[in-house]
Structure 1
Amino acid sequence: MSEMRSSLEEVRSRIILGEFCVKNVNTTNFPGNYPGYDDTWDMLTFQKTFRIEVGQLTDTLMEFDMVGIDAAVANAFRRILLAEVPTMAIEKVFIYNNTSIVQDEVLAQRLGLIPIKADPFLFEYKNIDKDKDSAEEEVSDIDSIQLCLKIKCVRNVRASKDSSDPQELYLNNKVYSRDIKWIPVGNQADVFADASIGPVHDDILIALLRPGQELDIVMHCVKGIGKDHAKFSPVATASYRLLPELTLLETVQGEKAERLKRCFSHGVIELEEVNGSKIAKVVNGRLDTCCREVLRHDDLKNVVKLGRVRDHFIFSVESTGILPPNVLVAESIKVLMAKCQRFLNELDSSDME
């Protein structure tokens, strides 16, 4: 009976990579999906097993493990990070002069994709009147940021006569995101006195100019979310993978151990000296990249079991720099909680009817 339960537990908690197929591919822990296994959901059990472990945290990158949840919930966090955490981005571009070779539409698109450093939670969503001309829209200090880009390329009178380098011959021949300036609206200069509103990165190339060419542009930034337009997405990437699990079924030594080590990514398997013989040992299965190279070797494919832990997700969140990745993860959790509360409120209201 205990062996049967152990087998059912492995089916429920592990995904096994075989030579010609993937076993136990059911990715849900929803009760009732595994016949003969009592998997009734229990809050106390969930509270005991669920945990989050942060492995790496920098200004732009966060890697953490989320253990004890269903794949649907993990994917919900990923989708919310991509599409439902708000940011500020350039929405309206008013081009008063553009004599560069870059077309107005392409230039506006390029400007819109530049990440803007501004706390979106200090602004409100802008109420856009579709019947009103966009040129007549008023810029409010509570829902908009105004930026400008005014630059002209001229010849460098101090350049050497024999020089052919545009960098030396011309001034302002390259337009970078650092040339975009913030124009405070209303009392924004006082409210955001300590905040350096502007592009996140100052070295994004926008256009190339030659003497006589210039740009005179005014931009309006508004609050939005990624599902409306990708420019509002706060992450460069947000992904997750299941924790790899490698199990050696027998002792592998000598030349076989050397070959087994080469079948996996660096650091997954190391060789240990035991009684003058090199023996393979799994050191860090987390580094495995799901490569099944070992299955090409007839004498090795049956000595190792390749698996993935079904409810252990390794998340990688890379911010565009607008907000720190740990703040983005916290906000995604708030968004999911708000969605759940809305759903519960709908259920309550339908019961009352």
Structure 2
Amino acid sequence: MPYQRFPRVEILSIQPQEIKFILSESDTSVANTLRRIMIAEVPTLAIDLVEFHENSTVLNDEYIAHRMGLIPVRYQPAESLKGSDCSDAFLPHRECVCYEHCMRCSVEFELDITYKVTGEEDVLAPLTVTSKDLVSNNELVQPAHFLSQDEQDEAQDEGVAIVKLGPGQRLKLKAIARMGISKEHAKWCPVAVATYRFWPEIHINDEQMATLTLEQKQELVDTCPDRILELDEVTGDIRAVDNAWDICTYTEDLKFAQAAMKKRPEDDDFVTVTQSKDRFIFNVETTGAMDADEILLSAIRVLRNRLNYLAQELENLKDM
């Protein structure tokens, strides 16, 4: 019977736009599955269709439509539905029975901006059209204008810039946002970064360390470019720094330095750094369409549904 694991998640830091956590008591297959689901299978909303009524800007329709598709669209559920994602409120447009689009499968945005002039100005600065100018027909769905408050404070515009208008120019359009996943198109991807690293296991051989002088120990500490080791000036012992797990990159410099210090080539290493096979450090940054913790919870929900579907199919095969 295979060994049964009980994966654990330990949150290291969490912000609306970023989350860092440790996945333990698992293996590479589960870690990579979770990462790929966050990238490609978490459902989000994105502008999928743009109907132009008038466009006298310097950019053509296709260019503006492409920019509109990359604006993060955020679904904020009501208080009674906190913890749910857009898949609980919308249907994939291919599964809806409506003819074109409806409130069940899509959200409509309108934009109508004209750069009006009175003829009295000598020099007019261009007018920037941003995501703030999009008017939604669903109060729970709005463009994500900024990733964080810091970004908003530093920005020169009021939202995601779409195009700049000159005097007398006009942009009028209607945009339809639909639910989808990144497997279909990258504009539905909720993450900007979703990576994991192996947890470093640092073992110090005290018996071998005793054969080194204090100068050799200091040389060993200085040789490591990651600075994962430190020398205790009181006891003269070498130990791993507290944040070694965060800065370790598994470089070969430490290994080469040890080989030069050994009395015999067959002697054990003074310090060994290996990659854990059941512990992983995840770092996830969002595009703004969802909070980082929402992406993680949604990915776990997708994984659970996939496993339940697989279990049901296996049961059906047994009954045949």
Same fold, TM exceeding 0.5? yes
The one-letter amino acid paired with 2:183 is: K
For structure 1, the 5+ residue unaligned runs are 1-39, 164-168
Aligned counterpart for 2:22 among listed residues 53, 57, 65:
65
Aligned counterpart for 1:290 among listed residues 250, 253, 264:
250
Relative CO higher for 1 or 2, CA cutoff 8 Å, sep ≥ 6? Answer: 2
The one-letter amino acid paired with 2:178 is: V
Between the aligned residues of both structures, percent identity stands at 29
Question: Are the counterparts in 2 of residues 153 and 211 from structure 1 also a CA contact under 8 Å?
Answer: yes
| Aligned match of 1:210 | 166
| Aligned match of 2:239 | 281
Question: Are the counterparts in 2 of residues 319 and 325 from structure 1 also a CA contact under 8 Å?
Answer: yes
Q: Secondary structure at the match of 2:184?
A: coil
| Aligned match of 2:177 | 221
The correspondence of residues 106-255 of structure 1 with structure 2, limited to 5 A, is: 106-119=63-76, 120=86, 121-127=88-94, 138-154=100-116, 169-170=124-125, 172=127, 174-182=128-136, 184=137, 188=138, 192=139, 195=140, 197-201=142-146, 202-249=158-205, 250-251=208-209, 253-254=214-215
Query: CA shift at 1:85, angstroms?
Result: 1.2
User: What is the count of residue pairs matched by the alignment?
Assistant: 285
Go from structure 1 to structure 2 and tell me whether the alpha carbon gap of 1:311 and 1:218 turns closer, same or farther (over 3 Å shift): same
Stretches (4+) displaced over 4 A: 154-159
Q: How far, CA to CA, are the matches of 2:94 and 2:280 in structure 1?
A: 39
Query: CA shift at 1:113, angstroms?
Result: 0.9
2:62 is equivalent to residue 100 of structure 1: no
Q: How far, CA to CA, are the matches of 2:215 and 2:37 in structure 1?
A: 49
Please, which moves more after superposition, 54-63 or 291-300? 291-300
Go from structure 1 to structure 2 and tell me whether the alpha carbon gap of 1:196 and 1:87 turns closer, same or farther (over 3 Å shift): closer
The one-letter amino acid paired with 2:240 is: V
Query: CA shift at 1:155, angstroms?
Result: 5.2
Q: If the length of structure 1 is used for normalisation, what is the TM-score?
A: 0.72
Query: CA shift at 1:128, angstroms?
Result: 7.0
2:31 is equivalent to residue 74 of structure 1: yes
For structure 2, the 5+ residue unaligned runs are 77-85, 147-157, 263-268
Query: CA shift at 1:127, angstroms?
Result: 3.2
The one-letter amino acid paired with 1:145 is: V
Query: What root-mean-square deviation, in Å, do the aligned CA atoms of Structure 1 and Structure 2 show?
Result: 2.8
Q: How far, CA to CA, are the matches of 1:63 and 1:308 in structure 2?
A: 18
Query: CA shift at 1:224, angstroms?
Result: 0.8
Q: If the length of structure 2 is used for normalisation, what is the TM-score?
A: 0.79
Q: How far, CA to CA, are the matches of 1:97 and 1:295 in structure 2?
A: 66
